[in-house]
Chains A and B, each alone.
Chain A
Amino acid sequence: MIPLGLPEPTAPALTTQAPDLDYWLLSPLLVVFAVGVVGVLVEAFVDRRHRRLTQLVLALAGVGAAFVLTLLQVGSLPEQGAGVGVAFATVAVDRPTLFFQGTILVLAFISLLLIAENRDGESAFAAQAAAVPGSEEERAHVLAGSQHTEVYPLVMFAVLGMQLFPASNDFLTMFIALEVMSLPLYLLCGLARRRRLFSQEAAVKYFLLGAFSSAFFLFGIAMVYGYAGSVHFADVYAAVGAGGAGVIEDGEPLLLIGMALIGVGLLFKVGAVPFHNWKPDVYQGAPTPITALMASCTLVAAFGALLRVFYVAFGASVWEWRPMLWVVAILTMVLAAVIAVTQRDIKRLLAYSSVVHAGFVLTAVVAASADGLAGAMFYLAAYGFTTIGAFAVVTLVRAPEGGAEAGDLAQWAGLARTSPFLAGALGLFLLAFAGIPLTSGFIGKFAVFEAAVAAGATPLVVVGVLSSAVTAFFYVRIIVLMFFAEPAETAPRVLRPGGLTGTVIGVGIAATVLLGVFPGPVLDNLLPQPSAEAAVGTQPSGAGIVPEDMFVR
């Protein structure tokens, strides 16, 4: 026998005990999944005429029920300590998880209203996605009024992935959540009714780049597994804190490479520079209601996952990852703001603006503190409502010929003369994006920048404020264009907002103003406030950056 130097193979330990699942804590996920599955059955067995209504009622009821269950769970968490690990602690149910899940469900509910908007039997989605664009078959389906009501179950599956993404407590669960979230979105991006080739191009780009980033993520997991001997966040945290798990000697490079590659995967989903290139193309090509869903819910879910990975799993090596995120945050805020100035298309502009906002949230991540966590949570919620509202306005302004949306900003000139309410609503959303006081955007920016300054990242905040000023320039430019410019010769056709779109815009306005004027109730209750004696009694340990009771480890 050749001595191979390998240890004697030992039989892996078999789990002979059936796992004990806490179905109550998993119920929000299970409800959404069940609705998605029932939605597939509806597609199979319910008559074509009743499908849309059935699907819509099911989806809204499911998301609503899941939200109520999430709220009820806040009360069932232990008063002290973090939260509970469910299903072999692969899913962490703690306060940040519940906040992210609740936010995702509310934003998904509003997006569903936008997705369901139907004008004269015409939705935002292709009549028959499998038909060749411009073909006789497509025309026949349009005339017959065909609709893809599969959109609803797909959205439910995507929402399920989004709920699981920030709750994952080990890397494999997180990867599965990432895929469950992404696969339906790839598909939904290609279903636009107008400019279908464009939409399909967006879907293919998103799919290819998304698959690419997933591969980075997986490779990073393999590296971290090599370092820590486990994919579980608590084990990785312990291994990083102890300077290795004894799996491999001098494994530090493995950890650093793994951290960087996992960072690439997550920053891609967040859309931070230099992993942002998919965002403008996909946001522009996808059906606008789906863009709204991605710009709000996916961003919340991706940041939830990013925060959990860097605060929990890599919480003990904050000095290694902080410089990396510093660089990414600065690049994101500066480059995206500058590129956004040159955009001529409203959806591309909103996409770049979403990239800039991801940079602002990253400053809170860099803070690596409880304040940073709370700031990021508030910012994401506030931004989600505003961005859905802005995309809802975009769905209403159409090109004069044909039914496509008026993407070109030149067509938006003088919009306030014909539709003052709509222009006013978009103006408010843009001011919130710019961070003008009395809007939610101001409070959110204040919260994240304050956390970053407290953590000693003042240069980052200076860059953030400067890039805020640049973004304010192009937001205000659109407002000036809408309110003070002469109407364009090719004036756009502005649709009357139907009940559903009207509700979405209304909720967006209400949330933007309420969170801007009365942020206290939300901002103060995001995380349990440390009691006075606890703050005195415990010295911050060198390793733990976030108080132990924020996250399940």
Chain B
Amino acid sequence: MELYTPIFVLGGIGAAFVVLSMVVGALAGPKRYNRTKLQAYECGIDPTPQPVGGGRFTIKYYLTAMLFIVFDIEVIFLVPWAVHLDALGMFGLVAMVLFLANVSIAYAYEWRRGGLEWD
């Protein structure tokens, strides 16, 4: 059982943090509502309308989301490389520069073809 104690403790702290911050926020925060604030939060796009058969939603948002995922993956590769840079030496540096250059080329394409323009 002791094996799981830290997990339960961590879970408890996490739950306590959520409850505490919501309670404190509800008690201490100012309450000036407007329409936008009362909308459901969907990461920055307009909340998806759900008429019969499902509505269509704009693809612009997903372009940005995909950009984000590529950066995410980039970081996943960068962290172990950075931790072990001294052992990998010059080879690692060159390889990582090449990798970053290749990833940036995709961004250059997206930027030039208007993928970053919201409207």
The interface of chain A, by Cβ under 8 A from chain B, is 1-2, 14-19, 37, 40-41, 43-45
Contacts and interface: CB of A to CB of B under 8 A. Distances in A.
B89 A37 contact: no
Contacts of B3: 1-2
Contacts of A15: 87
B112 A18 contact: no
Instruction: Report the contact-size class of chain B (Cβ under 8 Å from the partner).
Output: 10 to 19
Interface in B104-119: 105-106, 108-109, 111-113
B113 A19 contact: no
A53 B2 CA distance: 69
A37 B87 CA distance: 29
A41 B92 contact: no
Contacts of A14: 84, 87
A18 B87 CA distance: 7
Contact of A44 (B89, B91, B108): B108
Given A1-B2, A1-B3, A2-B3, A41 B108 contact: yes
Contacts of A44: 105, 108-109, 111-113
Nearest to B1: A2
A34 to B, nearest CB: 10
Contacts of B13: none
Nearest to B91: A18
B113 A18 contact: no
22 contacts: A2-B3, A14-B84, A15-B87, A16-B87, A17-B87, A18-B87, A19-B91, A37-B102, A40-B105, A40-B108, A40-B109, A41-B108, A41-B109, A43-B109, A43-B113, A44-B105, A44-B108, A44-B109, A44-B111, A44-B113, A45-B108, A45-B112
Contacts of A16: 87
Contacts of B2: 1
Contacts of B89: 18
A18 B89 CA distance: 7
A16 B2 CA distance: 37
**3 cross-chain pairs, A with B, having the tightest CB-CB distances, nearest first:** A18-B91, A44-B112, A16-B87
Given A14-B87, A18-B87, 8 more contacts: A1-B2, A15-B87, A18-B88, A18-B90, A40-B108, A43-B109, A44-B109, A45-B108
Interface in B1-50: 2-3
Contacts of B84: 14
A145 B87 CA distance: 54
A18 B105 contact: no
Contacts of B87: 14-18
Contacts of A17: 87
A40 B112 contact: no
Nearest to B106: A40
Contacts of B88: 18
A41 B102 CA distance: 10
A16 B83 CA distance: 12
A18 B92 contact: yes
Nearest to A42: B109
Contacts of B106: 40
A18 B95 CA distance: 11
Among A1, A40, A41, A44, residue most surrounded by chain B Cβ atoms (within 10 Å): A44
Contacts of B108: 40-41, 44-45
A14 B88 CA distance: 11
A91 B89 CA distance: 23
